[in-house]
Structure 1
Amino acid sequence: MPERPAALIVGAGPAGLMAAEELARAGLPATVAEAKPSVARKLLMAGKSGLNLTKSEDPAAFRAAFTEAAPWLAPMLDAFGPEEVQAWARGLRQELFTGSTGRVFPTAMKASPLLRAWLARLAEGGVTLRTRWRWTGFDSDALRFDTPGGPRLLTPEVTILALGGASWPRLGSDGAWAPWLAAQGVPVSPFRPANAGLAVDWSPHIARQFGSPVKGTRLTAGDTATRGEYVLSERGLEGGAIYALTRALRDGAPLTADLAPDLSADALAARLARPRGKASLTNHLRKSLRLDPARLALLMEFGRPLPEGPALAARIKALPIRHAGLRPLAEAISTAGGVPHAALDDDLMLRARPGTYAAGEMLDWEAPTGGYLLTACLATGRWAGRAAARRLQG
């Protein structure tokens, strides 16, 4: 026979755990079902290189990073934005610092101390955590689970789905839920990679530069331009500057690199016109333009045969980057697509299934890296948790 818990959260990532915290804060029992043996695996992975909690900037600028989704996400981000995220983390006794670009990190840098403190607080609040409970779809009004104790059916009074998108499936976000919701009459936008690297079929000569950061360039794709760091990897180009252009690249915009963004084309041509004596062209470029090995490697990879005179300056200012498209969806940091705004009411409840809410990356929004992703997951989880608590209370 189906069990009937008061509140069920499916997915124990940041959005799901925040929803559970809001139900516990309201004094309501909540059960969290997680398919993996442990919780918040993607959060822990993100914390390996420094857990970027949020970004300290003007609220309007913060919201603008969410582009088309900004209007409907605005109330949630206003209620739980960068300042509130920092206060929440400090409430878990995590010391924070803000970097030069406004990004906010725990002083410990890792996610594990924050997660341990968070799970302890949830346990104190009466939240029940069930790991290795894999949701396998609906059975009439019930949700069906494969568990260590065998199949289980649950018919909660309220359900919050926080299942993630379709990136990094080995960490739990595999998008398997999409056809189950579609069968319930919930429209689901196709998944697409967001914050993804570029695949490049390199020539052999560039292998010595694999792992090198590329600094001091401006990348342009379509109407979007960015200055930032990225890395030459065996698989292609990866890093924040590339991720910021994913949307334009996904839509087919060509990619160009300005290898000397602080110099005009005329100034560049003047430097190149200096006598070079017996120096090779490579040494002349390195000395006259102060191009480091990584930028020189890009120029030789994508710019040859190199022209002479002003044409060379023009190529350095707008070097076409040939690539084989975005890396696969499973390798993207996040995904676009999922449950669209039109399928939800103002409380993030599914219009096709009253009493069931959705939160986090399974919603159809995208944002760049830099603290935006995690903040929105927390904010939408909090919003759905509060709405579910109000429904339970009557």
Structure 2
Amino acid sequence: MRSGGFCEPRDCRKHCACPYGSARTERVTAASWMSLGKCPECEDQRATDPRSTGGSDPTTAQVCVFVSRREEPRAESARALLCPVAMASGWLRVSALMQKYRSPLLISTCSGLFGLNLVQHLVPDQTFCSLYQAWSKGEPVQLSPKLEKLFQQVLQDYCVSSPQKFLAFASFGFHPVGAGLPLLPSGVHVGIPANFNSSEEDTTGITDRTIFINGRAVDWSSATGTALRHALVLSEPAQKFALAREVARLDGCLPVLSAAVAPACVGGVWVYSVLLKQVFGLHSGPMVFRVAVNALSLCLGAVSYFLCSDAVGQFVDYSSDRRAAAVSPLYANGGVEFYDKILSRNRTLRSLMGQKGEEMYAPNGNLFPANLLQLKHAPYTARRDGIQAMITQEKA
């Protein structure tokens, strides 16, 4: 080390084995020396201003010059090689943890999905009712005594074991909606729309409401408005069937079956992965093949979810219809009328909504599928024909 405090090549090699000890040296001026900084390996601030220490002439000092033009690309290439290795190491650690705790992770994931799908049925008064509650002038609409009496009559006709667990409220829309499980303290909540207050003689429950379609209010005196009003008016048997359908779905705890589809498919992904790896002997094979098998298992799980949710949804629809229509022939005839009115309403909405209506509704009034893999609901024509077949069979 010279008196000026500069780090010479031999000093770096002697004290800290600095790889820059063999670097190219050159004579520098005091101005260029000020930009050198410290030795990058030993981190020793040996370069001090010789003008303040009274050292040798900085213009003649032979110092260790760190040539960035040669060393920085070398460091960058080393970091570029280490990044994929670090990422692969992190992925291996995560994979090892998932392999070690796969059973708790699978159970917690399936339980979380099951609870998430059932949340509106677990606390319907705080979630479902707040979403579907009808409002008028900033106040929640109260259910009319007429509809409350009708609802209690449906519960009596259906022979519900715990009628005190079933509550009704005024909802918006044109169809009854419901959520909840009779086994839970929160019970079952069924929403009844305002058009159920209307009849052929009194349509105030419909005509006193303003319905906007494509930004324009429906003119109830026009031909399409008259057709829509006629489709929204239901007879008492049709109203009873619509309510009994919701009661049958919730009283049979069918929402639990629908909520179990997603967790079952998540468990199916794990089963697919294990079976495929075992069949092809990939548990100790290359990682690329295992990743490909996992991706294939995810695709199979997604397809299984769409198909199973479709099948379960249609089973719930048909089962609810059969249970409601089996109450009495009056309810069965009301079911045929109910679905006829739905098809008529959808055909009218198709003409009123223009291009959007043609994309949403079929010419016969059925809903178009949500996508190529999922129908979501059973066709209304099939549900009507199913009830009609029950009536024909009963008569025979």
Task: Pick the structure with more strand per residue.
Answer: 1
Task: Identify which of structures 1 and 2 has the higher relative contact order when contacts are C-alpha pairs closer than 8 Å and 6+ apart.
Answer: 1
- TM-score of the aligned structures, taking structure 2 as reference length: 0.20
| The structure with more helix, counted as a fraction of residues | 2
